[in-house]
Amino acid sequence: MLRRKGRENAIVAGRGCGEKAIGRAVRAGRSADSARLVQDASRRQAYPKARKGGCRRNRVAREANVNIKQINENQKGHDHDELFKITLTSRRACDRFNRGPDERSIRMTRHFSCCIGSRLLRWVLLSPLALNFYAIEPSEAGSFHTNSPMTAGRSAHSSTLLPDGKVLVAGGRWRTGITSSAELYDLSTGKWTPTSKMGFARHVHGAALLSNGKVLIVGGFGTNDTVTASAELYDPIAAGWAETGAMTTARRGCSVTLLQNGQVLVAGGLHSNCLEALSSSELYDPGTGRWTRTGTLNIARYNHTASLLPDGKVLTAAGFCDANNGVTSTAELYDPIAGKWARTGVLITARSLHTSTVLLNGTVLVAGGEDKSGTLATAELYDPASGKWKAAASLNLERDQHTATLLSDGRVLVVGGLGQGGYVAAADLYDPLASTWAIAGALSAKRYSHCATLLPNGKVLVTGGVGDVDGNGDLPTELYDPQSK
């Protein structure tokens, strides 16, 4: 009872001091984004103090605002990036605890999974489950450990974290060809269990977790390597699949993005095996189960990236743009209100098969990939405020077809891929505070075309892929633990 009361006090105190903090930040003349960062920092500090039991609300609020006072004293000298660093430092300084998700955590997870965009971020930060996300000690580089194997090996599949903390893995290519099988990873047991099969076997498809908790699977290669327009929904409660409306255009290698209004944006891709790049994009409405055409990309592209920005727009960057594997350095912004695409700053380096990650300060990190000269190690940052790109520190090892995962403490973990020397096992860790990359251990099995999913306990689940253990994609699953050595 005492610990529960302490957590309840934490929520009340965190909200109170958070509202005070954002008010101070706005009155001091900072932007709304900066104000939200300050608000999040004060909330983060309030929780560990209140959960020690019995702390009074006003006392917690005063202690939680220490960092706000420090910022206010020097507010004229801080820019957006500095405020971001202070916020990250505040989060990293919070007391650590390792309480697993209880029923209240699951209820709040379902609540914030129905919220989207900036509202989703704020509810995530207030969830007890999310407190485990920010309990990572950033000084550790972490290490990989072999985990229990999936029931079936696969590559070019999808991996989606469900609201209840389980991970849904679906489709992919296996020894017998393209598969329709799907399975669930249970964090509490560390085991995999099969679930019902998809209605359509596919790989190189897209997946998105909808605000209603269901998972949308779209497009990809079907049987006989034909590109499909079909789509289906996985219902975690019913543990089954149901067909939904088909896209207006069959496509693979496209981007799939959940918008803040709950709709799903699919853009670009390939229409067939003849490498015909698409410039069309379309929207899926979960309420009707139907697709409608929306704005056209200025540059047709596939194997590009798409990132949902804090303001609700979608940044599409680089990719292949023609049948000759020509690579583009162009980037575009999709405005969901206007339903149109507009050009934005051009990348420093043209690339495809890269990754893009939205950092906690709203900037976008693009890393690796390939161009006509070969595999890349370069990285760059996109600033939504200026619409421009700037060079970032390069990866320790060049790679494409890798994964990039935003960790709970704001760092970015890059895993696997294909390099100049073949399959890659090494992992790189980007620290936005230091703007540097560090070696973060290595996989037990080299791989590319795999998936990496951040779990509620802060670990990263790596599944499937193609590697030198088994060319058919039957690779062991592995867990990256940021706290282990």
What residues have CB less than 8 Å from 373, skipping those under 6 apart?
Answer: none
Between 470 and 3, the more confident residue is: 470
- What's the mean pLDDT in 261-279? 89
Task: Count up the domains in the chain and report the number.
Answer: 2
94-119: pLDDT as tens digits = 333 333 333 323 333 333 333 333 33
**Which pLDDT band holds residue 44 (cuts at 50, 70, 90)?**
very low
Q: Is residue 103 part of a domain?
A: no
Are 251 and 351 in a shared domain?
Answer: yes
Q: How far apart are CA 34 and CA 83, in angstroms?
A: 7
HSE on the CB side for 263, CA within 13 Å?
Answer: 21
Are 302 and 366 in a shared domain?
Answer: yes
Are 155 and 91 in a shared domain?
Answer: no
Quote the crossing angle between the two packed helices 32-50 and 66-73, to the nearest 10°: 150
* 40, containing H or E segment: helix 32-50
Q: What is the DSSP string of 366-397?
A: EE--EETTEE---EEEEETTTTEEEEEPPPSS
135-160: pLDDT as tens digits = 333 446 789 999 999 999 999 999 99
Helix boundaries (H) for 51-135:
57-64, 66-73, 80-92, 103-113, 117-126, 128-133
Between 472 and 331, the more confident residue is: 331
93 has a pLDDT exceeding 50: no
Quote the crossing angle between the two packed helices 80-92 and 66-73, to the nearest 10°: 160
Residue 43 DSSP SS3: helix
Q: How far apart are CA 230 and CA 251, in angstroms?
A: 9
Are 77 and 196 in a shared domain?
Answer: no
Are 56 and 148 in a shared domain?
Answer: no
Last residue of a domain, one of 63, 95, 127: 95
Angle at 347 between CA 341 and CA 348, to 5 degrees: 165
Between 46 and 316, the more confident residue is: 316
pLDDT for the residue numbered 172: 95
Are 47 and 160 in a shared domain?
Answer: no
Q: Is residue 102 part of a domain?
A: no
Q: Range with the lowest mean pLDDT among 127-131, 339-343, 394-398, 450-454?
A: 127-131
Backbone angles phi, psi at 61, to 5 degrees: -60, -40
Q: Is residue 380 part of a domain?
A: yes
What residues have CB less than 8 Å from 426, skipping those under 6 apart?
Answer: 396, 397, 439, 441, 442, 443
Q: Find the CATH number of the domain harbouring 242.
A: 2.120.10.80
Are 249 and 381 in a shared domain?
Answer: yes
Are 184 and 304 in a shared domain?
Answer: yes
pTM for this one? 0.74
**Which pLDDT band holds residue 290 (cuts at 50, 70, 90)?**
very high
Are 85 and 151 in a shared domain?
Answer: no
DSSP letter, residue 458: S
Last residue of a domain, one of 95, 113, 128: 95
pLDDT for the residue numbered 331: 98
DSSP letter, residue 340: E
Q: Is residue 216 part of a domain?
A: yes
Last residue of a domain, one of 95, 125, 157: 95
Are 75 and 177 in a shared domain?
Answer: no
Q: Is residue 119 part of a domain?
A: no
How far from 300 is each of 221, 319, 337, 461, CA to CA, in Å?
19, 9, 22, 33
Q: Is residue 23 part of a domain?
A: yes
Are 90 and 147 in a shared domain?
Answer: no
Are 47 and 177 in a shared domain?
Answer: no
432-475: pLDDT as tens digits = 999 999 999 999 999 999 999 999 999 999 999 998 765 444 78
Q: Is residue 263 part of a domain?
A: yes
**Domain residue limits at 240:** 143-481
Q: Is residue 133 part of a domain?
A: no
**Which pLDDT band holds residue 89 (cuts at 50, 70, 90)?**
very low
Backbone angles phi, psi at 392, to 5 degrees: -115, 170
DSSP letter, residue 75: G
pLDDT for the residue numbered 54: 39
pLDDT for the residue numbered 148: 92
CB 198 within 8 A of CB 170: yes
